[in-house]
Amino acid sequence: MWQFLHKLASPRYFYDITGKWIPWLGGLTVMTLLAGLYYGLLKAPPDYQQGESYRIMFIHVPAAWMSMFIYVLMAFWSGINLIWNIKLADVMTVSSATLGASFTFLALMTGSLWGKPMWGAWWVWDARLTSELILLFLYLGYIALVAAIEDRRTAARAGGVLILVGVVNIPIIHYSVEWWNTLHQGPTVTKLDKPSIHLSMLIPLLIMAVSFKLYYLTVVLMRARAEVLDRERRSAWVRELFGAKLAN
């Protein structure tokens, strides 16, 4: 296992092996997505309170999970990069950022769409939505910082420090916002997280969550491969690879 990870950290090996993985990951993504949507939108029973509109949950909740998950993952890779100086780790961080921001944006959008029938307003300062909004700011700050620094390695390292600072702050921000929310709105009915959920709704939700993870994995690997090629374009193996393709 350790040896495999070590090998994976070499750009060339990474490029080759992930090239083989991506079609499979892509296929699995489509399959789970179709299954999740089918069970979620057609099979699961309507909610006794919310009727059909609750079904947006099958997008909203996995997107919200992904938005957190990717941030934590980026922090993990940044830590590896800053401590052991492994280039592939910063390729993964940089490639993840826009995906994380997109999932956060998706969670916000669907939350807002869901809010309209539930609360009668497109936006309510609900704790979950507010936290998502702040998370979006954190992502956008990271993207802006990385874009502002010219040298890529420097940009990735600086971004890594910011992500690590952010990941320490996320629980604090989350707690503060929850606390603030209970103070100002009283115990609101947060429609977005129900204490218990029926199995017939839980299963599609989990399928969707898996599908979103697979989607992330597929796209992040595609982006990372492009980034690796761009960074290594001077090296012999990249020239060899593309020289050969051009000859064909």
Interaction between residue 5 and other proteins (CB under 8 A): no
Identify the residue among 3, 48, 151, 187 touching other proteins (CB under 8 A): 151
Interaction between residue 176 and other proteins (CB under 8 A): yes
For other proteins, give the closer residue by CB, 161 or 226: 161
CA distance 206 to 31: 14
Total residues interacting with other proteins, rule: CB under 8 A: 33
Identify the residue among 144, 206, 226, 236 touching other proteins (CB under 8 A): 144
- Max alpha carbon distance in the chain (Å)? 69
Give least dist CB 106 to other proteins, A. 19
For other proteins, give the closer residue by CB, 90 or 216: 90
CA distance 29 to 15: 20
Give least dist CB 126 to other proteins, A. 15
State the DSSP string of 206-238: HHHHHHHHHHHHHHHHHHHHHHHHHHTTTSHHH
The residues, ordered by sequence, that sit 6+ positions from 223 with a Cβ below 8 Å of its Cβ are 95, 99
**82 touches 161 (CB < 8 A):** yes
Give least dist CB 169 to other proteins, A. 5
Interface pattern 69-108 for other proteins (x via CB under 8 A)? -------------x--------------------------
Interaction between residue 186 and other proteins (CB under 8 A): no
Identify the residue among 138, 207, 220, 228 touching other proteins (CB under 8 A): 138
For other proteins, give the closer residue by CB, 59 or 88: 88
Instruction: Tell which phi-psi region holds residue 197, choosing left (phi > 0), alpha (psi between -120 and 50) or beta.
Output: beta
Identify the residue among 7, 153, 198, 239 touching other proteins (CB under 8 A): 153
Give least dist CB 211 to other proteins, A. 29
Identify the residue among 173, 203, 210, 229 touching other proteins (CB under 8 A): 173
Helices (H) and strands (E) in the chain, counts: 8, 0
Q: Comparing C-alpha atoms, which of 222, 213, 228, 241 is closest to residue 28?
A: 213
Q: What's the DSSP call for residue 204?
A: H
Instruction: Tell me how many degrees the CA angle 152-155-158 measures, rounded to the nearest 5.
Output: 150
For other proteins, give the closer residue by CB, 109 or 162: 162
CA distance 8 to 13: 6
Give least dist CB 81 to other proteins, A. 11
CA distance 159 to 77: 11
Positions in the binding site for other proteins (CB under 8 A): 82, 134, 137-138, 140-141, 144-145, 148-154, 157-158, 161-162, 164-166, 168-169, 172-173, 175-177, 179-180, 183, 234
